[in-house]
């Protein structure tokens, strides 16, 4: 990427670009920028890991700090991603209206928000157990480091998947201080699921990524092949989830949830075609939101009904 051209684009933003006035307004714009409501993608899997760890309902205090940790982790990762990609977003017609390149909030405020979010994660880990606290810097390094991977490797989708995929294991560690094979496989399933839908999302930027020398599976193999790779990753997700359900001896309610997940994944892939990417946002945001919620509800009811 040519850094000179990137800087020129950023500084050419009009001096009169609207900026959020007041601390509350800046927080609101930042939460909109990072799509705070999409915490639904990761939180249900962290809570599922917690339910499996306790084989029942954890204490409300534990649930509270797990939620705080997840919100802090995602907020830090998303805000830092916007910071790291500022020059790239300013060049991309699809992203140049985001809050940072549009000048709605300052770079300094975004950095401060990232630091605050990281602090929330560390405090939550401290409240949960010593091992969670010791591992929190590792989690932060992975969450922030993802933002640079697409500059170097097409496997950035899997790194993003890992950022969300570690949530069930993190919740398990927070409650039990160890790990199990089943929760690691659950994390692997989440990793493949996220990587699969991130590949779909990246299909929108194939030409832009090529022009800047950024890496992605759609850029490397083309949109048609990328959609097939995404479908294979989602088949792997289902296979791993079935295996985890058997290892944890879950019943018919969890199995029904997996059937619903399979149907929704199939629908997601029907929405997007190589010749028509107009419904990528519906596939990315709406369908995957339903997948995570339905998965959690079905597995939670199954676990709690034992």
Average pLDDT over residues 220-235: 97
Q: Is 1 inside a domain boundary?
A: no
Whether residue 68 is contained in a domain is answered as yes
**Could you say which DSSP state residue 97 is in?**
T
pLDDT band at 5 (very low <50, low <70, confident <90, very high): very low
Q: Are 283 and 232 in contact (CB under 8 A)?
A: no
pLDDT for 207 equals 92
Helix/strand/coil (H/E/C) assignment for every residue in 26-50 = HHHHHHHHCCHHHHHHCHHHHHHHH
Q: Which residues, at least 6 apart from 238, have a Cβ–Cβ distance to it below 8 Å? A: 258, 261, 262, 265
Q: What is the pLDDT of residues 170-190, one digit of tens each?
A: 999 999 999 999 999 999 999
In terms of Cα–Cα distance, which of 248, 137, 134 is closest to 189?
248
Q: What is the pLDDT of residue 30?
A: 80
For the chain, the domain total comes to 1
Which residue has 């199990």 as its token pair? 180
Residue 22 pLDDT class (50, 70, 90 cuts): confident
Looking at the predicted structure, is the pLDDT value of residue 167 above 50? Answer: yes
- Mean pLDDT to the nearest integer, 105-110: 91
Banded model confidence at residue 18, pLDDT cuts 50, 70, 90: low
Residue 11 to residue 194: CA distance in whole angstroms: 34
11 versus 80: the higher-pLDDT residue is: 80
Backbone angles phi, psi at 125, to 5 degrees: -60, -40
Does 17 reside within a domain?
Answer: no
- 235 vs 277, higher pLDDT: 235
- 184: nearest Cα among 169, 172, 170: 169
- The reported pLDDT for the residue numbered 282 is 73
Q: How far apart are CA 46 and CA 128, in angstroms?
A: 14
Per-residue pLDDT, averaged over 277-297, amounts to: 86
pTM for the full predicted model: 0.88
**82 is written with which tokens?**
């916007």
Q: Is the pLDDT higher at 190 or at 283? A: 190
Question: What's the rounded mean pLDDT across residues 71-80?
Answer: 92
Residue 52 is predicted with a pLDDT of 97
Domain that holds residue 191: 23-304
Question: Would you say residue 15 lies in a domain?
Answer: no
Q: Which of 11-20, 26-35, 106-115, 231-240 has the highest mean pLDDT?
A: 231-240
- Above 60 in pLDDT, residue 24? yes
Contact predicate 253/243, CB 8 Å:
no
Express each pLDDT in 135-147 by its tens digit.
999 999 999 999 9
> Is the residue at 6 inside a domain?
no
- Asked if residue 212 belongs to a domain, the reply is yes
pLDDT at 4: 38
What is the pLDDT, as a whole number, of residue 98?
86
Mean pLDDT (the chain) is 89
- The span from the CA of 278 to the CA of 244, in Å, is 35
- Give the CATH number, domain containing residue 45: 1.10.357.140
Confidence of residue 27 (pLDDT cuts 50, 70, 90): confident
Residue 105 falls inside a structural domain: yes
Does residue 10 fall inside a structural domain? no
The pLDDT of residue 8 is 35
**Contacts of residue 277, Cβ cutoff 8 Å, sequence gap at least 6:** 203, 204, 223
Residues near 109 by beta carbon (within 8 Å), at least 6 away in sequence? 26, 30
Q: What is the mean pLDDT of residues 130-155?
A: 95
Using alpha carbons, select from 197, 188, 191 the residue that is nearest to residue 218: 197
Long-range CB contacts for residues 285-292, cutoff 8 Å, separation at least 24 = 285/35, 285/38, 288/41, 288/193, 288/197, 289/38, 289/40, 289/41, 290/264, 291/193, 291/261, 291/264, 291/265, 292/40, 292/41, 292/42, 292/43, 292/44, 292/45
């Amino acid at each position: 990427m040519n850094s000179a051209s990137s800087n020129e684009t950023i500084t050419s933003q009009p001096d009169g670009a609207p900026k959020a006035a007041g601390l509350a307004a800046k927080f609101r714009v930042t939460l909109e920028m990072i799509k705070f409501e999409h915490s639904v993608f990761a939180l249900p899997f962290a809570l599922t890991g917690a339910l499996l760890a306790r084989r029942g309902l954890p204490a409300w205090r534990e649930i509270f700090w797990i939620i705080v940790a997840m919100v802090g982790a995602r907020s830090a990762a998303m805000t830092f991603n916007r910071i790291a990609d500022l020059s790239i977003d300013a060049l991309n017609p699809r992203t140049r209206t985001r809050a940072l390149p549009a000048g709605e909030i300052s770079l300094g405020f975004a950095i401060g928000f990232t630091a605050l979010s990281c602090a929330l994660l560390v405090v939550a880990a401290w409240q949960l157990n010593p091992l969670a606290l010791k591992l929190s810097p590792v989690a932060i390094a992975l969450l922030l480091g993802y933002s640079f991977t697409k500059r170097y490797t097409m496997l950035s989708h899997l790194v993003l998947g890992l950022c969300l995929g570690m949530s069930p294991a993190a919740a398990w560690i927070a409650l039990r201080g160890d790990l199990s094979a089943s929760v690691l496989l659950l994390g692997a399933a989440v990793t493949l699921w996220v990587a699969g839908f991130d590949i779909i999302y990246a299909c929108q930027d194939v030409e832009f990524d090529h022009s800047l020398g950024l890496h992605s599976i759609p850029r490397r193999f083309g949109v048609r092949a990328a959609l097939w790779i995404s479908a294979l990753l989602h088949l792997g997700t289902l296979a791993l989830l079935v295996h985890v359900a058997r290892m944890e001896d879950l019943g018919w309610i969890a199995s029904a949830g997996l059937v619903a997940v399979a149907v929704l994944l199939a629908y997601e892939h029907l929405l997007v075609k190589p010749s028509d990417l107009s419904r990528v946002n519906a596939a990315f945001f709406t369908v995957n939101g339903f997948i995570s919620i339905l998965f959690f509800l079905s597995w939670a009811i199954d676990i709690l009904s034992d």
